[in-house]
């Protein structure tokens, strides 16, 4: 068990120590190159700094860890590739907080200790993440429940954590867009720390998507507050456990298709998506349904961006590169004039090639994600993105790209074969936007 550093002073000390370590590493690397004429490995430098930040962010948890996750998995090239590999551990290596603190939080939020509210409440968390941890409870009227407890003062530390994180990341990221990227993350963090909002989203997603293929929990408002969220418990296995049981090809294809269809069913007039597509947020249920969890990170896109972004996929599909170039200008990926022609052409050629690779699963009547060459090709594009001078494109790419890449990653782990026919029909409705 672990304590949560909730004061600005405590958190500031941890941030400062990590920042000094990272800054010292970069200074040492620069000194070796300029004075000692010794060329150290930049990859090793990035990895070393990523590990330093990971240790600090894991200790801090809360918004600091969420910031690291959000920045490192957006695949926009904002951070070196080594950071993505190291920070991906953050989904699985977060220590839970002390049981005494858990009881205190529940009492402060709901007026009674957990053992007074429920027939049973397990003080040992079944999952601990960046903003909160989950406990199992049982209630005579609602059955088995999942109770999410938010760490102390998480919401209050968002702005100070972001300020300190900016200072650290600006040593590694040189971009005019850094501020708007961090503002995007700030808005999502404010939403994620409002469990009343997440409860409403649970019910919205249940109304829109729960059917004979998709299952969502139900929100129990009676035992919820801004910092405690109670919902019905979904039985089933997470991806790692599901795969450890050696499912057959038919089963893997079945769940792969459900993941694929759920993602594309969200391409609709609400412009709202479940924007945290990682294995911990899905359950593979015995009844054949796909369970969807954690509705804290939900992104509603502006209509103009959403329509334009969705136009890119069918334009890649038809290889209409003239229209695609105009669309990239609208999305802020390349400039709209000739002031930076050489760089813009390089960006266009890269994103055209990346997009053509990305769209490949949509081209035929079926696509198998059990394809090592395709995985290497995607990874090669992502690695190349880190070589550009700065990340480009709208702030809204952070969560659109993160979600789409998260889907592909899970399908690759499943080695699933999917039928994209239904999703292609959905995407083709957006072609009119680019005309």
Residue 111 lies in a domain: no
pLDDT of residue 42: 55
pLDDT of residue 5: 55
DSSP-assigned letters across all residues of 4-31: ---SHHHHHHHHHHHHHHHHHHHHHHHH
pLDDT of residue 213: 96
> CB under 8 Å to 72, separation ≥6 — which residues?
79, 83, 84, 86, 87, 88
Helix axes 397-414, 249-265, angle to 10 degrees: 170
* Count of structural domains within the chain: 1
pLDDT of residue 225: 97
Residue 107 lies in a domain: no
Give the pLDDT confidence of 10-21 residue by residue, as tens digits.
655 655 565 545
Q: CA-CA distance, 356 to 362, in Å (whole number)? A: 10
Residue 158 lies in a domain: no
Residue 78 lies in a domain: no
Joined tokens for residue 131: 């903003």
Residue 290 lies in a domain: yes
Joined tokens for residue 71: 């920045």
User: To which residue do tokens 């929990």 refer?
Assistant: 217
Q: CA-CA distance, 209 to 202, in Å (whole number)? A: 10
CB atoms within 10 A of CB 43: 11
The pTM assigned to this predicted structure is: 0.81
Q: CA-CA distance, 275 to 296, in Å (whole number)? A: 9
Residue 301 lies in a domain: yes
Which residues of the chain fall short of a pLDDT of 70? 1-94, 165-177, 336-343, 385-391, 431-435
Residue 191 lies in a domain: no
Domain range for 326? 236-435
pLDDT of residue 344: 76
Residue 247 lies in a domain: yes
């Amino acid at each position: 068990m672990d304590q949560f550093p909730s004061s600005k002073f405590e958190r500031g000390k941890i941030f400062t120590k990590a920042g000094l370590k990272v800054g010292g590493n970069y200074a040492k690397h620069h000194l070796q190159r300029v004075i000692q004429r010794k060329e150290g490995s930049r990859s090793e430098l990035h990895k070393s700094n990523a590990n330093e930040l990971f240790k600090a962010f894991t200790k801090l948890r809360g918004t600091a860890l969420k910031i690291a996750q959000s920045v490192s998995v957006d695949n926009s090239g904002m951070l070196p590739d080594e950071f993505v590999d190291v920070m991906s551990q953050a989904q699985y290596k977060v220590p839970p907080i002390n049981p005494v603190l858990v009881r205190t939080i529940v009492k402060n939020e709901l007026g009674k200790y957990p053992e007074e509210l429920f027939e049973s409440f397990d003080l040992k968390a079944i999952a601990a993440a960046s903003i909160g941890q989950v406990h199992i409870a049982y209630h005579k009227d609602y059955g088995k429940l999942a109770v999410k407890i938010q760490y102390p003062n998480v919401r209050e530390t968002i702005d100070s954590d972001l300020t300190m994180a900016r200072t650290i990341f600006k040593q590694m990221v040189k971009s005019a867009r850094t501020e708007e990227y961090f503002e995007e993350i700030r808005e999502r963090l404010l939403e994620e720390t409002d469990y009343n909002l997440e409860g409403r989203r649970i019910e919205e997603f249940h109304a829109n998507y729960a059917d004979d293929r998709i299952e969502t929990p139900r929100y129990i408002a009676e035992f919820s507050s801004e910092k405690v969220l109670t919902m019905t418990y979904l039985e089933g296995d997470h991806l790692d456990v599901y795969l450890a049981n050696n499912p057959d090809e038919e089963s893997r294809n079945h769940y792969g298709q459900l993941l694929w269809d759920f993602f594309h069913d969200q391409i609709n007039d609400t412009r709202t998506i479940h924007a945290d597509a990682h294995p911990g947020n899905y359950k593979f249920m015995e009844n054949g349904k796909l369970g969807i969890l954690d509705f804290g990170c939900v992104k509603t896109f502006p209509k103009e961006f959403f329509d334009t972004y969705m136009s890119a996929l069918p334009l890649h599909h038809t290889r209409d590169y003239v229209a695609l170039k105009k669309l990239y200008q609208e999305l802020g990926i390349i400039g709209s004039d000739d002031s930076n022609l050489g760089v813009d052409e390089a960006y266009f050629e890269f994103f055209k090639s990346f997009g053509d690779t990305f769209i490949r699963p949509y081209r035929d009547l079926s696509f198998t994600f059990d394809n090592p060459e395709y995985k290497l090709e995607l990874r090669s594009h992502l690695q190349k993105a880190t070589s550009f001078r700065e990340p480009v494109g709208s702030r809204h790419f952070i969560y659109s790209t993160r979600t789409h890449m998260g889907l592909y990653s899970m399908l690759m782990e499943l080695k699933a074969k999917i039928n994209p026919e239904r999703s292609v029909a959905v995407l083709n409705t957006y072609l009119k936007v680019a005309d």
